[in-house]
């Protein structure tokens, strides 16, 4: 491993300064170059460096100019391609298909520095110049599009990204294990077409004769033609996301071609996690971006600590089961404290650690011991519809970690912003974590994610019943009272999720009314590849039961559901009135305190509106 603490090469001059005549791998990414362990490109490139490989970075190449892909020359072993930390389409478009105006992963937040479907475009760009150089694709965009999938932006079922990109291998999931195995295989002289044996990868095959212990998925032509077949295929994929129990999956295409998904790579052990986060990251964006104002996304995470991966929460609208898996993997206290100490020495550290967490902050161990030897259950969830009797419920390790971080020199406050599971907190009879959370780790507001209040919708979301959330609010309020603090809860709410009719949307609006809270932001359900909810959105079926599900599809109905949650906004008056009348709830139009809107628009000063918003909340 090269022990020099410096950025990886981004040009030939950088290579010459290191004494390199060639890179082993060139990493092409849709994000600006940020050498921080919150960026997938940084972790993968530093992992390869640690195993002795020379890696160069081409960040946000000009996809309209094929020469932009040649700035580091021809790599010895291959190109690595990723759209970046986000799916490029989510990065570019709102759920209403409107173009976003900023890109937090680009210099100065500038929009338009990466193409739509970036993985495909970059691969095609490479193929124009380097036709025979192996291409390995990865990252969230490729990972969730590894087999036939529904594409919301084109409203079509699309083929595996491996086919449309022309890449040779797809590394799905987090990728540290598989990328090193791929590199070692290529370095040993194995042809890229023969690398078919690595867990956590997807490859193309012309026949199935060498496969053993696999499952045939419905053919691509079938899932493209039949929503029932699509749902059936998705369920099989969902049941095969565990490294210990999953089998290879095979999807046939009509050209007598097969896409083969090997079982997932094994979860990282704690020593492996520690090693990955100990690499010599610069923990900053490349200085070439300084004149443009840097990279906005870094400011959110520069002083945050990743303590875990994986999530056994399994919300229907989340793709974590497909990407990181349900087995929680953790770093040791020593590793996290070492990174925190390094953080406190940086000149712009102000004493605040912004987060200590991961997909779910308070998960610091697998949900049960059985997972470590037998894998996760296929026929049940750990927390839904109720906590499993085998669930290991304890916040002790997390509490101890937070206490150690609070004691570090120069640390004034340690926040938790990546979210906690309120149902997991309720399963813990010990109040220690909640008490210390209220005393030390929030500042006036706790952000929670009940998402909805209708049990019908919550069941489809894979979220706990509303009664669990109400119980949590009472417990939270009680503990705040004991600590002498007046702190509120800010709930994240989602509109237009499958199963939500105008009836359920109005139920949510009435809840907002009753708690005296007006959300500044509401998340419309966004159908992205790799989630149960997206499967429901496209097929109108719950793949777990194959029962029909109501889906709000039209932009207008989605706009009505969203506006109902923000019914106090003057600009929403007419559409809220339309929604109430359409749902037969004109009783909510009037001057009674239970009404949502008056019979006619009322003028409201900006000053009074701001005052009400500021005072809203629930403790």
**CB proximity list for 558: less than 8 A, separation 6 or greater:** 95, 96, 495, 496, 524, 552
Mean residue pLDDT of the chain comes to 94
Assess if residue 7 is contained within a domain.
Answer: no
| Residue in 187, 135, 181, 130 with CA at minimum distance from that of residue 162 | 135
pLDDT band at 72 (very low <50, low <70, confident <90, very high): very high
d(CA 112, CA 92): 8
**CB proximity list for 565: less than 8 A, separation 6 or greater:** 493, 495, 505, 508, 509, 512, 519, 522
Residue 613 has pLDDT above 70, yes or no: no
d(CA 520, CA 617): 11
Q: What is the pLDDT of residues 266-278, one digit of tens each?
A: 999 999 999 999 9
Can you give the pLDDT at residue 2? 42
Output DSSP code: residue 373. H
| Residue in 336, 334, 384, 327 with CA at minimum distance from that of residue 357 | 336
3-state secondary structure of 111: coil
Q: Which bin fits 186, alpha (ψ -120 to 50), beta or left (φ > 0)?
A: alpha
Can you give the pLDDT at residue 604? 54
Bridge partners of residue 150, in order along the sequence: 157
Instruction: Calculate mean pLDDT across residues 232-255.
Output: 95
Assess if residue 334 is contained within a domain.
Answer: no
Can you give the pLDDT at residue 601? 86
Query: Which of the two residues, 1 and 505, has the higher pLDDT score?
Result: 505
Can you give the pLDDT at residue 615? 35
Can you give the pLDDT at residue 419? 86
- Which of 149-153, 300-304, 431-435, 599-603 is predicted with the least confidence, judged by mean pLDDT? 599-603
- Which of 109-113, 284-288, 600-604, 613-617 is predicted with the least confidence, judged by mean pLDDT? 613-617
Output the CA–CA distances (angstroms, integers) from residue 341 to 247, 336, 344, 398, 442, in the order listed.
Answer: 42, 9, 5, 18, 21
Assess if residue 367 is contained within a domain.
Answer: no
Can you give the pLDDT at residue 519? 86
Q: What is the pLDDT of residues 472-517, one digit of tens each?
A: 999 999 999 998 888 999 999 999 999 999 999 999 999 999 998 8
Assess if residue 236 is contained within a domain.
Answer: no
Domain of 589, CATH number, reads 3.30.750.200
Can you give the pLDDT at residue 607? 43
pLDDT band at 255 (very low <50, low <70, confident <90, very high): confident
3-state secondary structure of 18: helix
Instruction: Calculate mean pLDDT across residues 325-344.
Output: 97
Assess if residue 571 is contained within a domain.
Answer: yes
Which of 158, 185, 203 finishes a domain? 203
Residue 63 has pLDDT above 50, yes or no: yes
Assess if residue 482 is contained within a domain.
Answer: yes
Q: Give me the number of domains the chain comprises.
A: 2
Residue 3 has pLDDT above 50, yes or no: no
Can you give the pLDDT at residue 4? 56
Can you give the pLDDT at residue 521? 80
Domain of 157, CATH number, reads 3.40.50.2300
d(CA 325, CA 200): 11
Instruction: Calculate mean pLDDT across residues 265-293.
Output: 97
Can you give the pLDDT at residue 298? 96
Sign (positive/negative) of CA torsion 400, 403, 408, 414?
A: positive
Q: What is the pLDDT of residues 144-191, one digit of tens each?
A: 999 999 999 999 999 999 999 999 999 999 999 999 999 999 999 999
| Residue in 362, 358, 364, 355 with CA at minimum distance from that of residue 301 | 355
Q: Is the CB of residue 121 less than 8 Å from the CB of residue 81?
A: no
Residue 610 has pLDDT above 60, yes or no: no
Instruction: Calculate mean pLDDT across residues 234-239.
Output: 96
- N residues, the chain: 619
Sign (positive/negative) of CA torsion 434, 435, 440, 443?
A: positive
| H or E stretch covering 609 | helix 606-615
Domain ranges, residue 21: 12-203
Which of 160, 186, 203 finishes a domain? 203
Bridge partners of residue 548, in order along the sequence: 541
Can you give the pLDDT at residue 547? 98
Assess if residue 161 is contained within a domain.
Answer: yes
Q: Specify the pTM.
A: 0.93
Bridge partners of residue 250, in order along the sequence: 216, 260
3-state secondary structure of 528: coil
Instruction: Calculate mean pLDDT across residues 420-449.
Output: 94
Which of 178, 203, 228 finishes a domain? 203
Assess if residue 66 is contained within a domain.
Answer: yes
Can you give the pLDDT at residue 292? 96
Q: Is the CB of residue 126 less than 8 Å from the CB of residue 61?
A: no
**CB proximity list for 103: less than 8 A, separation 6 or greater:** 91, 92, 109, 110, 111, 112, 113, 114
Q: What is the pLDDT of residues 357-413, one digit of tens each?
A: 999 999 999 999 899 899 999 888 999 999 999 999 999 999 999 999 999 999 999
pLDDT cut 90: percent of the chain above it: 90
Before 463, cis peptide (omega within 30)? no
**314-344 CB burial, b ≥16 within 10 A, e <16:** bbbbbbbbbbbbbbbbbbeeebbbebbeebe
Can you give the pLDDT at residue 256? 85
């Amino acid at each position: 491993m090269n022990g020099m603490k410096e950025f990886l090469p981004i040009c030939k001059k950088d290579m010459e300064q290191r004494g390199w005549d060639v890179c082993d791998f060139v990493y092409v990414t849709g994000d600006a170059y940020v050498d921080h362990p919150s960026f997938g490109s940084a972790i993968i490139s530093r992992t390869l460096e640690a195993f002795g490989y020379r890696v160069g970075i081409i960040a946000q190449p000009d996809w309209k100019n094929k020469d932009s892909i040649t700035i580091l020359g021809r790599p010895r072993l291959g190109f690595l391609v990723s759209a970046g930390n986000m799916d490029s389409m989510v990065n570019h478009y709102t759920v209403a298909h409107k173009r976003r105006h900023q890109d937090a992963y680009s210099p100065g937040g500038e929009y338009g520095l990466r193409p739509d479907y970036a993985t495909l475009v970059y691969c095609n760009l490479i193929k124009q110049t380097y036709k025979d150089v192996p291409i390995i694709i990865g990252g969230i965009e490729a990972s969730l599009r590894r087999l036939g999938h529904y594409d919301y932006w084109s409203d079509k079922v699309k083929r595996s990204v491996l086919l449309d990109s022309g890449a040779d291998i797809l590394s799905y999931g987090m990728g540290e294990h598989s990328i090193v195995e791929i590199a070692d295989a290529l370095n040993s002289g194995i042809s890229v077409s023969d690398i078919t044996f690595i867990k956590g990868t997807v490859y193309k095959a012309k026949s199935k004769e060498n496969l053993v212990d696999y499952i045939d998925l419905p053919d691509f032509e079938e899932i493209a033609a039949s929503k029932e077949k699509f749902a059936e295929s998705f369920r099989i994929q969902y049941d095969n996301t565990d490294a210990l129990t999953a089998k290879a999956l095979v999807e046939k295409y009509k050209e007598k071609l097969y896409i083969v998904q090997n079982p997932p790579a094994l979860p990282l052990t704690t020593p492996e996690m520690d090693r990955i986060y100990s690499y010599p990251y610069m923990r900053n964006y490349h200085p070439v971006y300084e004149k443009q104002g840097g990279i906005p996304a870094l400011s959110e995470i520069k002083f945050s600590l990743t303590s875990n991966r994986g999530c056994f929460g399994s919300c229907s609208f989340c793709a974590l089961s497909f990407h990181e898996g349900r087995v929680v993997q953790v770093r040791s206290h020593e590793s996290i404290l070492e990174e925190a100490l390094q953080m406190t020495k940086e000149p712009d550290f102000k004493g605040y650690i912004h987060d200590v967490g991961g997909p779910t902050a308070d998960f610091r161990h697998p949900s049960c011991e059985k997972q470590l030897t037998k894998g996760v259950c296929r026929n049940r969830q750990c927390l839904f519809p109720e906590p499993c009797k085998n669930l290991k419920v304890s916040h002790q390790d997390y509490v101890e970690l937070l206490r150690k971080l609070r004691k570090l020199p120069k640390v004034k406050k340690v926040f938790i912003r990546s979210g906690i599971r309120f149902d997991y907190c309720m399963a813990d009879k010990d109040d220690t974590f909640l008490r210390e959370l209220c005393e030390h780790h929030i500042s006036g507001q706790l952000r929670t994610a009940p998402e909805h209040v209708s049990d019908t919708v919550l069941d489809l979301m894979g979220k706990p019943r509303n009664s669990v959330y109400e119980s949590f609010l009472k417990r939270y309020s009680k503990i705040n009272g004991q600590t002498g603090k007046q702190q509120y809860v800010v709930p994240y709410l989602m509109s237009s999720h499958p199963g939500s009719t105008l009836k359920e949307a109005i139920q949510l609006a009435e809840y907002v009314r009753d708690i005296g809270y007006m959300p500044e932001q509401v998340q419309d359900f966004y159908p992205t590849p790799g989630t149960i909810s997206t499967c429901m959105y496209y097929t109108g079926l719950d793949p777990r039961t194959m029962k029909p599900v109501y889906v709000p599809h039209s932009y207008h109905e989605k706009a009505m559901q969203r506006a109902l949650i923000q019914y106090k906004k003057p600009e929403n008056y007419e559409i809220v009135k339309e929604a109430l009348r359409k749902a037969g709830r004109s009783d909510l139009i009037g001057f009674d305190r239970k009404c949502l809107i008056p019979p006619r628009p009322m003028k409201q000063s900006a000053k009074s509106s701001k005052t009400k918003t500021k005072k809203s909340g629930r403790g």
